Amino acid sequence: MISQSKIKLINSLSKKKYRDINQLFIAEGEKLVSDLSDSSIHIKWLFASKQWIEDHSSIIADEITECEESQLKKITQLKTPSPVIAICSIPDQKIQNLDIDKDLTLALDDIQDPGNLGTIIRLADWFGIKNIVCSQNTADAYNPKVIQATMGAIARVNLFYTDLELFLKQAREKNNSIYGTFLDGEDIYRKELNSCGIIVMGNEGKGISSKIESLVSDKLLIPSFSTNPIHSESLNVSTATAITLSEFRRRF
Amino acid sequence: MISQSKIKLINSLSKKKYRDINQLFIAEGEKLVSDLSDSSIHIKWLFASKQWIEDHSSIIADEITECEESQLKKITQLKTPSPVIAICSIPDQKIQNLDIDKDLTLALDDIQDPGNLGTIIRLADWFGIKNIVCSQNTADAYNPKVIQATMGAIARVNLFYTDLELFLKQAREKNNSIYGTFLDGEDIYRKELNSCGIIVMGNEGKGISSKIESLVSDKLLIPSFSTNPIHSESLNVSTATAITLSEFRRRF
């Protein structure tokens, strides 16, 4: 049984305000919960079917509650509840602990769409990018839609929400390379790229904002290969991130 | 004024059944309609505000109707209607006219999500891929959600819906290279790639089906760069398409 007060609290976590107050997020689905339990993320409450608990005897959570499907239905954010729902602590990532000197770091300048953000986190995991620095106006990574779209990658990528302008300013002062894609950049396929640095991806509609653009040290262009004088003006931010990360990683 | 019978017909076009019967699709938005009018696509009816018609005096359509916003609201598929809505003929693409010997062709094996399909069409346009061959079970490219996600690229990419297995069988018999991405393929970054051939992308959940896999001549792998023993098992199909097309085009 899940208490009424817990049901209320869990359902409130679909809203950012209550995730912030409680510093908790919801994760649903067998693969996702299994990935989270293999990570440093702390599972506070776990609600699952009898069968699931029997099959996952090694799972660690502060509290494990066996539930009938009718109970899981009361806390699910999905149309059909999965056999397991975990309530996890939002990791307390401190930007001052982030080391940007030894690897690539991804920075997001106001990415708005939860699907795009989830896809970008999944890409970061695939390309071995451990850290993503997000502007304060980037969509919340602990939104259930983002969590689902990461397909488990949220368990392995660290997210830092901070003043992106200040962060990049300090990085520039320490001579870190700051890359971004623009329509007037240099051909990414021909340009020399560093194995370390920060790659900034911009907002879906507006691209990289002008105050962030002024901090970019290396403007890149993903060239179009269309022979048609009229062609698409830009790429979707997830696909642009995919191409950029692929290009950086394939060199080293 | 738009007649009641036209309003009924136009609204029915949100369903594939009625698009097929009427061989028409809806396109909304200034950029999209402008892109379509610059392409070979035939605009049958155009409904637009007085201002829009004055600003686009060169636009060609069988019939142009000046509308108040209240009229546009009756036929829009969006929350807020754009100042222009076009009803266009679905191009009659015949697979036997498709020449696959001189360039790359994209083939889609049961892509289901309209957002993914639209993003893939937009990528094809960016990378100068003129033709996409879709299995019969691929989402309908003339679905309003797909049209919107292409951001105008639907005007410049030819789509062929056909028996994909038969099409690939015939292509193999003529010694065309058929590429596909798999977890047991060869590293795409190191493998020799042809400037011509067919690139197959698979279904979101199941990947490339076994009957199509048996027709692939060159299995490719987009390698993961994660150092974590547990990492994402796959990439989203749009991002995998982005990386694959980027890798083919950058070589030539």
Nearest CB among B127, B232, B246 relative to A122 is that of B232
Task: Return the DSSP state at B96.
Answer: G
CA–CA min distance A68, chain B (Å): 28
Residue B232 has pLDDT above 90, yes or no: no
B:19-78 residues touching chain A, CB 8 A cutoff: 35, 38
- ipTM surpassing 0.85: yes
Concatenating the DSSP letter of every residue in A77-114 gives SSSS--SEEEEEEPP---GGG---SSSEEEEEES---H
Cross-chain Cβ contact A230/B156 below 8 Å: yes
Q: Give dist(CA B181, CA B38) in Å, integer.
A: 34
B237-250 and A114-126 helices, crossing angle to 10°: 60
Q: Give dist(CA B47, CA A87) in Å, integer.
A: 50
Q: Give dist(CA B114, CA A113) in Å, integer.
A: 16
Residue A22 is predicted with a pLDDT of: 98
Residue B252 has pLDDT above 90, yes or no: no
Long-range contacts of the stretch A53-59 (C-beta < 8 A, 24+): A56/A84, A59/A33
pLDDT per position as a tens digit, B58-95 = 999 999 999 999 999 999 999 888 999 999 999 999 99
Cross-chain Cβ contact B232/A128 below 8 Å: no
Residue B233 has pLDDT above 90, yes or no: no
Nearest CB among A115, A119, A127 relative to B225 is that of A127
Least confident of A229-233, B189-193, B200-204: A229-233
Q: In the CATH scheme, what is the homologous superfamily, with its name and number, of domain A4-89?
A: Ribosomal protein L30/S12 (3.30.1330.30)
* Chain mean pLDDT for chain A: 95
Nearest CB among B122, B156, B242 relative to A242 is that of B242
Q: How far is CA B3 from the centre of its chain?
A: 31
Q: Give A-chain residues touching B250 at CB under 8 angstroms.
A: 189, 247
* Chain mean pLDDT for chain B: 95
Q: Give B-chain residues touching A148 at CB under 8 angstroms.
A: none
B126 in A contact zone (CB under 8 Å): yes
pLDDT per position as a tens digit, A191-221 = 999 999 999 999 999 999 999 999 999 999 9
Residue B99 is predicted with a pLDDT of: 93
B187 in A contact zone (CB under 8 Å): no
A229 in B contact zone (CB under 8 Å): no
Closest C-alpha among B96, B125, B138 to residue B237? B138
Q: Are B22 and B9 in contact (CB under 8 A)?
A: yes
Concatenating the DSSP letter of every residue in A221-232 gives E------SSS--
Q: Give B-chain residues touching A115 at CB under 8 angstroms.
A: 115
pLDDT per position as a tens digit, A124-158 = 999 999 999 999 999 999 999 999 999 999 999 99
Tokens of A164: 């992106």
Residue A228 has pLDDT above 90, yes or no: no
Residue A1 has pLDDT above 90, yes or no: no
Give the mean model confidence (pLDDT) for residues A94-114: 95
Q: Are A155 and A35 in contact (CB under 8 A)?
A: yes
CA angle B144/B147/B148 to nearest 5° reads 85
pLDDT per position as a tens digit, A48-84 = 999 999 999 999 999 999 999 999 999 999 988 899 9
Q: Give dist(CA B241, CA B118) in Å, integer.
A: 12
pLDDT grade for A231, boundaries at 50, 70 and 90: confident
Domain ranges of chain A: 4-89, 95-250
Q: What percent of chain B has pLDDT over 90?
A: 93
Residue A252 is predicted with a pLDDT of: 82
Residue B229 has pLDDT above 90, yes or no: no
Q: Give B-chain residues touching A152 at CB under 8 angstroms.
A: 232
Fold of A95-250: Alpha/beta knot (3.40.1280)
Q: Give A-chain residues touching B151 at CB under 8 angstroms.
A: 232-234
Residue A170 has pLDDT above 90, yes or no: yes
